[in-house]
Structure 1
Amino acid sequence: MRNRQSIFAYILLGVFLLGGAAYLLAPYLNKSKVETENSAPAANAPTFVKEGEVTFWKNGQKYKTIDVEIAENENERAKGLMYRPYIPDSVGMLFIFEKSEPQSFWMHNTSIPLDIIYVDENKKIISIAANTKPYSDEGIPSLGNAQYVVEVNAGFSERNNIKTGDAISF
């Protein structure tokens, strides 16, 4: 009788351990094909390189400054913040276009949600697309002509009270 109880206890322990392992591994086993294809290995992820600063202005007063990488040519603008698993809240990317016109961004191969801040030729914020959806190929348009765009972590605009009508300098 005691031998049966021991076998039963080992079986229960095995089921418990397998169930726990399945629970812990579930997030990795349930990744969609799209998510897997769009993910870059962390070892290959681009690292942030400070190329300048963007200062946000409110009512003519300096309000907040972040470090930025600058995307000033077509290749850099096309890549943007793709393949980055994380960026600190104190950094972002500044996109510079040759002329002010309607802009549209997407989140293709971008794994982190972003706030996309559209800025006109006078460096005034004209619209903010907050908390964009990672990996989305849907266009995210500016609400007017923009010559500059600043990408930052999702929620940055709300946490720092950045609003349309504010300004930037770089």
Structure 2
Amino acid sequence: MTCGPARADKRRMLTLSRAFRTLIFALLALVAAGASVVAGGSKLEPLTFHTAAGPRAVQVEVADTPERRQVGLMYRRALAPDHGMLFDFGAPQPVAMWMKNTYLSLDMVFVTDKGLVHRVERGAEPLSEAIIDSGAPVRFVVELAAGEADALGLKPGDRVSQRLIDAAAGR
């Protein structure tokens, strides 16, 4: 008489097995879909620095709203090489940045509305409230992990291309 309950147990096991496979598949799909999305829900976009040594590509999150610009890379514990954040201030203006609540040392690349590097602040001190000034009106700031600006060979006058920068520069 164990025939009936054994079949029910087998059906439950098959149902559970299918549900488990479906769950695993759904989780893998989410991971694959999120591969180009980083913390904060922003998609990565290509940005290229045109240096004396040639083009250097990185992937950036775009901070183009007041809320995204305010948070920036705060609270992050890691930033992959060749990755960063592009801040778009909408119009050329003097820009003042700081490192409050930012655990990573960063390089800050101040970029004009013409898409040219104005200046590079290397190795900004984590958690500092010291003001880092653009030194002139700029429209964009690119934040990279400390040391990346040197690794990329960045210097004032280098051209930067990315969809927002190119649009601002009329390219």
User: Does the pair score TM above 0.5?
Assistant: yes
Q: Tell me if structure 1 keeps the 8 A contact 2:42–2:62.
A: no
Runs of 4+ in structure 1 over 2 Å off: 45-51
Give the equivalent residue in structure 1 for 2:127. 135
What are structure 1's unaligned runs of at least 5 residues?
1-44
Q: Tell me how far apart the structure 1 counterparts of residues 93 and 40 of structure 2 sit (CA, whole Å).
A: 30
Q: Tell me if structure 2 keeps the 8 A contact 1:89–1:156.
A: yes
Q: Does 1:51 align with 2:51?
A: no
Alignment match of 1:153 (pick from 139, 145, 148) = 145
Give the equivalent residue in structure 1 for 2:55. 63
When the two chains are superposed, the root-mean-square deviation of aligned CA atoms in Å is 1.8
Q: Where do residues 57-136 of structure 1 align in structure 2 (5 Å cutoff)?
A: 57-58=50-51, 63-136=55-128
Change (3 A) 1:88 1:48: farther
Instruction: Work out the number of aligned pairs and report it.
Output: 125
Q: Tell me if structure 1 keeps the 8 A contact 2:51–2:153.
A: no
Q: Tell me if structure 1 keeps the 8 A contact 2:49–2:159.
A: yes
Q: Tell me if structure 2 keeps the 8 A contact 1:50–1:67.
A: no
Q: TM-score, normalised to structure 2's length?
A: 0.69
Q: Tell me how far apart the structure 2 counterparts of residues 51 and 161 of structure 1 sit (CA, whole Å).
A: 22
* Deviation (angstroms), 1:62: 5.1
Q: Tell me how far apart the structure 2 counterparts of residues 63 and 56 of structure 1 sit (CA, whole Å).
A: 6
What are structure 2's unaligned runs of at least 5 residues?
1-37, 163-171
Q: Tell me how far apart the structure 2 counterparts of residues 112 and 79 of structure 1 sit (CA, whole Å).
A: 14
